[in-house]
Amino acid sequence: MRKRLGQLLDNAAVFRYHRQRIREYGPGSPGALGWQPDGQLIRFEILSQIGDLAHCSVLDVGCGYADLYPFLRQRFAGVQYHGIEQMPELLALAQARYAHAPAVTLATGDFLRAPLPLSDYVLASGSLNYRQRRPRFIYEAIEKLYGSSRRGLGFNLLSWEPEGGGPLAAYDPAEIVAFCQTLAPGVELVEGYRDGDFTVFMHRGSATSRPATEQPSE
């Protein structure tokens, strides 16, 4: 009961944070999600380097407005996109934009508790950055998301808490990588692309390759 109450309070804090930002920046904007426009794009660029995503299924957890979908579609042919989002305001706009698109499914739910479809790649852009009462939250989340991937998991985290960041939390990259290495045979840490941000790739295989992106045919 206490654990469930804590989860509800944590989710309520996240909802308040984003509803305030929606009022400030407008619905559908990167600012409503806590991003600067260039920051969102840079993080997408890094995450998409996890591998060749052409003709792969991609699960976007905490998908927000599903902005990752058009980004991937422009770069990889045949991407099958599945997004899951628990905040109704965000999901409703994502559905209005992309529910009609080919190879797109969007679902409501808390990805930390809801069953997740097994996908080739699982990506989490910003959705693990929120402060939680459970001390092992981040490790439980990483383990679950990695378990839902056939080929690998990519996620970004903050290495320092921004001023006025509301419910956002920061993590030590070395500690996160050390944990990931207990689960995956291939782990990569990517830093230096943006202050206070880092990305981790967890691969099912030890060897990684980065083929050039395949341009989708129109």
- pLDDT tens digits, residue range 59-78? 999 999 999 999 999 999 99
d(CA 154, CA 48): 9
Contact in structure between 131 and 152 (CB atoms under 8 Å): no
pLDDT band (50, 70, 90) for residue 30: confident
Residue 20: the pLDDT is: 77
Between 54 and 217, name the one with better pLDDT.
54
Domains in the chain (CATH in brackets) are 2-203 (3.40.50.150)
Nearest to 156, CA basis, from 72, 62, 74:
62
pTM for the predicted model, two decimal places: 0.85
Contact in structure between 83 and 127 (CB atoms under 8 Å): no
Q: What is the DSSP letter of 32?
A: G
